[in-house]
Amino acid sequence: MKKLTIVAKLKAQKGKESETRKALEALIPITLKEEGCLEYRLHVNTDNEGEFMFYENWTSHDLWQKHMNNTHLQDFVAKMDQFVDGDIDLSTWFEG
């Protein structure tokens, strides 16, 4: 099976940029320990520090889906409306 790449983008609510960044950074060490996680990097837009992107690589779609159902990520999703503006823009890619 080919490696799966995920690009996840989101925007912080105005005035909640720092809170959003802290919440996103808290996901990194936990996620990097998950089975199948090859890379999980947080990026900040150079023109807008309230826009964030995760660049992720997983060994398989199934293991990424398992990640999406893990408690720490579900906890983040449940509270993200307190600091995230809108929905997460998520796209999945296979290595060509």
* One pLDDT digit (tens) per residue for the chain, 96 residues: 689 999 999 999 999 999 999 999 999 999 999 999 999 999 999 999 999 999 999 999 999 999 999 999 999 999 999 999 999 999 999 987
The pLDDT, as a whole number, for residue 1 is 66
DSSP secondary structure, 23-72, as one string: HHHHHHHHHHTSTTEEEEEEEE-SS-TTEEEEEEEES-HHHHHHHHTSHH
The pLDDT, as a whole number, for residue 73 is 93
CATH of domain 4-94: 3.30.70.100
Every domain of the chain and the residues it spans: 4-94
Strand partners, 37: 58
The pTM of the whole model exceeds 0.85:
yes
